[in-house]
Chain A
Amino acid sequence: MKFDKPATTNPIDQLKVVGKPTDRIDGPLKTTGTAPYAYERHDVASDQAYGYIVGSAIAKGRINAVDLAAAKAAPGVIEIVTWQNAGPLGKSKSHTAKLLAGPEIEHYDQAIAIVVAETFEQARAAARMVRIDYARAPGRFDLDAQIKSAPPVGEDSGEGSHSPPIARHGDFDGAFAAAPVKLDAVYRTPDQSHAMMEPHATIAAWEGDKLTLWTSNQMIAWGVRDLAQTLMIPKEKVRLVSPYIGGGFGSKLWVRADALMAALGARAAKRPVKVALARAQIMNNTTHRPATVQHIRLGATKDGKLTAIAHESWSGDLPGGGPETAPSQTKLIYAGANRLIATRLATLDLPEGNAMRAPGEAPGMMALEVAMDEMAEKLGMDPVAFRILNDTQVDPMKPERRYSMRNMTGCLKLGAEKFGWAKRNPKPGQMRDGNWLVGMGVAAGFRNNITTKSAARVRIDDKGGIVVETDMTDIGTGSYTIIAQTAAEVMGVPLDQVKVTLGDSSFPEAAGSGGQWGAANSTAGVYAACMKLREAVAAKLGFNSADAAFTGGRVTSGNRSATLADAAGSSAEDGIEYGDLGKTYQQSTFAGHFVEVGVDAWTGTVRVRRMLAVCAAGRIINPKSARSQVIGAMTMGVGAALMEHAVVDKRFGFFVNHDLAGYEVPVHADIPHQEVIFLDETDPIAGPLKAKGVGELGICGVGGAVANAIYNATGVRVRDYPITLDKLIDKLPAMA
């Protein structure tokens, strides 16, 4: 189905199932521990051996020699694979560094061997007996030292975030020089880690030259492509199965070392092999969100109209890698005639930088929305009113492009009203609650909506139920449920009459999970397939498809009526493909984030007391799981603002705090009750469901709102995330 004109009234608009807060259909499995994750598939292949990956102990250099004698002699060891006996390997464009190193080492904990043994304990013990003689080379590990020589490098994150090397609109320099009110500030965000709860894991089994991987992956078709390229085998020979994924946040967009090493280990051992990355390997072996240095300059008239906006960002990555696209939203979010956007990329020999939930906007908004708060204060304006004054309904750098729908102003206004923003004292350090300095902060939320093709196969089973098959994934996003809702709505059956099967590369290729594109596109693909199925059903029943009504498990046409079971066996495969609406219109999602914090006046301890997000993201297919997406993203945003920091050892080039004790993420005690309000809207330009993405919107801006609340509470402006108490304690107001 081609979607090249705005949607009109269609079966989704019945809203019998779509749009209703719905318990997840996979909930009973997940809550009873019966949803099978990758490492747990005892059922799929017999005689599974265990693999354990050995990672490089140096960040850069080469391996002089490998001594496997002790490891090979260890009890239970079946095979050991290194680059020396792995056979020829290619490298897909998705991977900056090789998944299997040797003899060259590109980063710390890069995989250099897999030890395959009869048991996990034996594989782990033998992995520690692998002796490597390294020649360490000097590396570049300090972003601050490298940014001076960083050239402009643009990037399309492939996740809806695009940042040019250098882009100018109007005359920024002249407008900034002439502006009566100016802000010029530098912000820093640190390296961050996805820290999803399920480690990367794979079971690999070869049947002749055919490889099947039960793995944990967000993008099934990408995984097939990249693994086939790496193993240099036809992609038809690779099958990926990933029905349940224990979180990804971008770290499982591409297959990682667990998948390749399991495949190599299984080929060598001539047995299925299961591998999981140890928790302490994940942060240095896999990808992370790169640290940024962001220089923002704002110029405005005295009455608060922005006239000059510059956002320049520096980040680093391995040779051949890409930048964090932190200035992306600054092209679009606020009005203003004169603009400069720049992205520069340093070379670093740290582990590979790549996408983490809302790459670009997540760290970019943490800087921009604090700059907006600072500017509002300089102007003596309320920060909500300042943002509303500078709203735009067009792409400011291409004014002929309108937003398909944009109600950021509505989000901010409703949020201010519901949060009690009027009670905020604009003068910092004035609100007290016992020993707590209390403050409120606001930020806008902004993240683009991506349209991308997505397909599905649907059929009617013997009982008149609907079976949906697509390689779409559910990484906790609620895909199972919204796909079932879509099929139920279009086919006119109750939700429990729909069976959804996901995450298998033998199914039609779907949008996959990334860049908050999963929900709107995968349901659009299922919609397309179901519309085609309606035609097949009508044809089978001899009905005129144009006037056939699908309700209550029945098909009615004129005075004729049949059950769906009468059309059992009917099937259809189709997908959604988009025309130019994504180009002719700017499609984005919007939020107003409101946060109240308490800062202990004696210790500087920050506690988040209240949080509210008001979101405008088109039709919300399942308000229950969409709300969970937003509160989850708000939670990760609190982590980014207050604690998350992958600390670089600049001598040896690795993340030091590479586990869940050292890399702190929010826990229960850090997160208060959270409120989310969705504006009631539909965006017919976005797709047939009139829905947009929402999974990343919740993290975009919320960190800035936390920072602004801390400033309002204390009068201390911290521009270097995370805002830990050591950055506050010697600057807090004197206690009476």
Chain B
Amino acid sequence: MHGPGEVEVSRRGLLVGGAASVAAGAVSAPADAQRAPAAPKPAMAKVSFEVNGRRQSLEVDTRTTLLDALREHLKLTGSKKGCDQGQCGACTVIVDGRRINSCLSLAVMHEGDRITTVEGLGTPDKLHPMQAAFVRHDGYQCGYCTPGQICSAVSVLEEIRAGIPSHVSADLTAAPALTAAEMRERMSGNICRCGAYSNIIEAMADVAGAKA
């Protein structure tokens, strides 16, 4: 959601009562808009967490997401902003061993946490096995969703090993299998518009020693 647009639309929708015709007319701003009371100063807070093994202490606007703390404050731009509203998965990072959408989490909620971003998995000269598998299987094209896909892929294999069931697990009490269906289901929060899905599953299967 962004700005006043949507609010205006729903209000107008109610006013016209769903009528198909739209009358020309003014859409007025609220009557008190002219008075412009000064907005309060942003609330700032200190937070410390560990990113890729390094302790980081920041003072941030409390509205700052974990994603923007990483990208704008720590200049770790590997984690991507695709939607900023939890719909695409490009911002996926691993916090205390679990993957999360870092755009849906405020930085100040992570005091003391251990955060791993794609930069913490490997470097161009020393790729993590999942990063190397993505290169080998061409599991990316434009590369923008890739860090999130890789953080998710690493976590998904851990989740399956840990016995965590998914929507496609036939038996919720049995250990889930390393199947393509399990991997696809668990990876479905990470959108790749270039459409590298078939290759990503092959890269994951390669790392997991499973059949895609």
Q: A651-B13, A669-B184 are in contact. Are A70 and B197 (CB under 8 A)?
A: no
The interface centre, meaning the residue of B22, B41, B78 with most chain A CB atoms within 10 A of its CB, is B22
Verify if B143 is at the interface (C-beta below 8 Å from A).
Answer: yes
CA A23 – CA B199 in complex, angstroms?
Answer: 13
The interface residues of chain A lying within 8 Å CB-to-CB of B147 are 31-33
What residues of chain B lie closer than 8 Å to A281, measured between beta carbons?
A: 2
> CB-CB contacts of A222-259 with B at 8 A, as 1s and 0s?
00000000000000000000001111110000000000
Among residues of A, the one whose C-beta sits closest to the C-beta of B135 is A27
Please tell me if the beta carbons of B36 and A198 are within 8 angstroms of each other in the complex. no
Q: Which residues of A contact B38 (CB under 8 A)?
A: 73-74
Q: With an 8 A cutoff between CB atoms, is B47 at the interface? A: no
Residue of A whose beta carbon sits closest to that of B27:
A134
Task: Check A67/B85 contact, CB under 8 A, given A125-B39, A136-B26.
Answer: no
Closest to B198 in A: A674
**Chain B proximity of A482: nearest CB distance (Å):** 13
The minimal Cβ–Cβ distance linking B10 to chain A, given in whole angstroms, is 10
Alpha-carbon separation in the docked complex, A23 to B135 (Å): 6
Are B144 and A198 neighbours in the complex by a CB distance under 8 Å?
yes
A199 near B: Cβ within 8 Å?
yes
A477 lies within 8 A of chain B by Cβ: yes
Q: Does A539 contact B (CB under 8 A)?
A: no
Query: Taking the complex as formed, is B24 at the interface, i.e. its CB lies under 8 A from any CB of chain A?
Result: yes
Type the 1/0 row for B5-44, where 1 means its CB is closer than 8 Å to any CB of A.
1001100110010111111111111100110111111100
* Cα of A40 to Cα of B127 in the assembled complex, Å: 22
Contacting pair A32 B191 (CB below 8 A): no
Contact A660 B124 (CB under 8 A): no
Interface string of B93-132 (1 = CB under 8 A from A): 0000000000000000000000001110111110100011
What 1/0 mask marks residues of chain A from 142 to 164 whose CB sits below 8 Å from any chain B CB? 00000000000000000000000
- Does A92 count as interface, using CB distance less than 8 angstroms? no
Interchain CB contact under 8 A, B24 and A651: no
Distance from A549 Cβ to chain B, minimum over Cβ atoms (Å): 33
- A23 and B136 in contact, given A651-B16, A659-B83 (Cβ under 8 angstroms): yes
On whether the beta carbons of A279 and B87 are closer than 8 Å, the reply is yes
* Distance in Å: Cβ of B197 to nearest Cβ of chain A: 4
- What residues on A are CB-neighbors of B64 within 8 Å? 119, 121
Whole-angstrom CA separation of A629 from B140 in the bound complex: 10
Q: Indicate which residue in A30, A74, A120, A671 contacts B146 across the interface (CB closer than 8 Å).
A: A30
Selected from A42, A195, A199, A245, the residue in CB contact (under 8 A) with B81 is A199
Q: Are B145 and A197 in contact (CB under 8 A)?
A: yes
User: B13, B42, B72, B190: which contacts A668 (Cβ < 8 A)?
Assistant: B190
Complex contact A133–B196 (CB within 8 A): no
Give B41's nearest chain A residue, CB to CB: A75
Is the pair A671, B198 in contact by a Cβ cutoff of 8 Å?
Answer: yes
Secondary structure of the B contact surface, majority rule = loop
Contact among A70, A133, A673 with B201 in the assembled complex (CB-CB below 8 Å): A673
A74 to B42, CA, bound (A): 10
Inter-subunit contact B24/A70 (CB<8 Å): no
Q: Is A186 an interface residue, CB under 8 A from the partner?
A: no
Partner of B26, one of A26, A29, A64, A139: A64
Q: Is B209 an interface residue (CB 8 A)?
A: no
**Cα-based distance from A220 to B127 in the complex (angstroms):** 32
Does A57 sit within 8 A of B, measured CB to CB?
yes
* Stretch in contact with the other chain, from A264-272, A296-304, A424-432, A620-628: A620-628
* Chain A minimum-CB-distance residue to B77: A40
Does A450 lie at the interface of the complex (its beta carbon under 8 Å from any beta carbon of B)?
Answer: no
Give a binary string over A123-146; 1 marks a CB under 8 Å from any B CB, 0 the rest.
Answer: 001111101111111110000000
Q: Is A120's CB under 8 angstroms from B27's CB?
A: no
Identify A198's interface contact among B29, B82, B183, B184, CB under 8 A.
Answer: B82
How many A-B pairs with Cβ below 8 Å? 289
Asked whether, in the complex, the Cβ of B184 is within 8 Å of the Cβ of A660, the reply is no
Inter-chain contact A668/B39, CB cutoff 8 Å: no
State the Cβ distance, B143 to closest chain A Cβ, in Å.
3
Name the residue on A nearest B6 (C-beta): A280
Q: Mark B50-75, 1 if CB is under 8 A from A, else 0.
A: 00000000000101100010011001
**Given the complex, which residues of A lie within 8 Å of B201, measured CB to CB?**
668, 673
Q: Do residues A666 and B197 form an inter-chain contact, with CB atoms below 8 A?
A: yes
- Given A36-B77, A67-B29, A198-B82: A659 and B87 within 8 A (CB)? yes
B179 in contact (CB, < 8 A): no
- Asked if B42 contacts A634 (CB within 8 A), the reply is no
Bound complex: CA A479 to CA B119 (Å): 24
A661 at the interface (CB under 8 A from B): yes
Residue interface bits A15-34, CB-to-B below 8 A is 1, else 0: 00000000110111111111
- Total residues of chain B contacting the partner, CB 8 A: 97
Q: Nearest B residue to A43 by beta-carbon distance?
A: B75
Instruction: Assess the B193–A624 pair: CB atoms within 8 A.
Output: no
Q: A134 touching B3 by the CB < 8 A rule?
A: no
Q: A32-B78, A665-B191 are in contact. Are A628 and B16 (CB under 8 A)?
A: no
With a CB–CB cut-off of 8 A, which chain B residues contact A56?
5
Q: Which residue of B lies closest to A634 (CB)?
A: B195
Determine the chain A residues whose CB is within 8 A of the CB of B199 once the complex forms.
628, 631
* A196 at interface, CB cutoff 8 A: yes
Q: Is A476 a contact of B27 with CB atoms below 8 Å?
A: no
Q: How far is the CA of A247 from the CA of B34 in the complex (A)?
A: 42
- Interface residues on chain A, number (Cβ under 8 Å): 100
Residues of B close to A134: CB separation below 8 A: 26-27
Q: How far is the CB of A473 from chain B (nearest CB, A)?
A: 11
Is the pair A651, B22 in contact by a Cβ cutoff of 8 Å?
Answer: yes
Pairwise interchain contact B81-A39, C-beta atoms closer than 8 A: yes
A673/B212 in contact, CB under 8 A: yes
List the B side residues contacting A674 at CB < 8 Å: 198
Residues of B within 8 A of A504 (CB): none
**Beta-carbon contact of A651 and B198 below 8 Å:** no
Using CB atoms, name the residue of chain A closest to B131: A31
Bitwise interface map of A from 625 to 651 toward B, beta carbon under 8 Å scored 1, else 0: 101110111111000000000000111
Contacts A29-B124, A33-B147, A121-B42; A24 near B138 (Cβ below 8 A): yes
- Do residues A197 and B77 form an inter-chain contact, with CB atoms below 8 A? no
Q: How far is the CB of B181 from chain A (nearest CB, A)?
A: 8
Task: Decide if A31 touches B3 in the complex (CB within 8 Å).
Answer: no
Decide if A278 is an interface residue (CB 8 Å cutoff): yes
Specify which chain B residues have a CB less than 8 angstroms from the CB of A195 in the assembled complex. Answer: 193
What residues of A have a CB within 8 angstroms of the CB of B16 in the complex? 651
B84, A279: Cβ atoms closer than 8 Å? yes
Chain B residues near A139 (CB, 8 Å)? 22
Which chain B residue has the least Cβ–Cβ distance from A626?
A: B138
A37–B82 alpha-carbon span in the complex (Å): 12
Within 8 A of A (CB), among B160-212: 180, 183-185, 187-202, 212
Given known pairs A137-B24, A628-B199, the reply for A75 and B39 (CB within 8 Å) is: yes
Residues from chain B with a CB closer than 8 A to the CB of A711 are: none
Smallest beta-carbon distance A709→chain B, Å = 18
Given contacts A34-B78, A281-B2, A633-B195, contact A669 B29 (CB under 8 A): no
Does chain B have a CB within 8 A of A733? no
A244 to B146, CA, bound (A): 13
CB-CB nearest in chain B for A198: B144
Bound CA span A659–B33, Å: 29
Q: How far in angstroms is the closest Cβ of chain A from B212?
A: 6
Within 8 A of B (CB), among A476-517: 476-478
In the complex, what's the smallest C-beta–C-beta distance from A634 to chain B, in angstroms?
7
Contact residue among B13, B20, B119, B191 (Cβ-Cβ distance under 8 Å from A660) = B191
| Residues of B close to A24: CB separation below 8 A | 135, 138
Q: Does A380 reach chain B (CB closer than 8 Å)?
A: no
Alpha-carbon gap, A70 to B36, bound state (A): 4
Please give, as numbers and ranges, the residues of chain A lying within 8 Å of B3 by CB-CB distance. 54-55, 57, 127-128
13 residue pairs A–B, Cβ–Cβ below 8 Å: A28-B127, A31-B135, A57-B4, A57-B8, A197-B145, A198-B82, A247-B141, A247-B142, A279-B87, A476-B141, A628-B196, A659-B85, A668-B184
12 new A-B contacts at CB < 8 Å, known A125-B39, A280-B1: A33-B78, A34-B124, A39-B81, A57-B8, A61-B24, A128-B4, A133-B29, A138-B24, A195-B193, A246-B82, A631-B195, A667-B187
Q: Which 4 A-B pairs have the closest CB atoms?
A: A33-B78, A635-B195, A246-B144, A476-B142
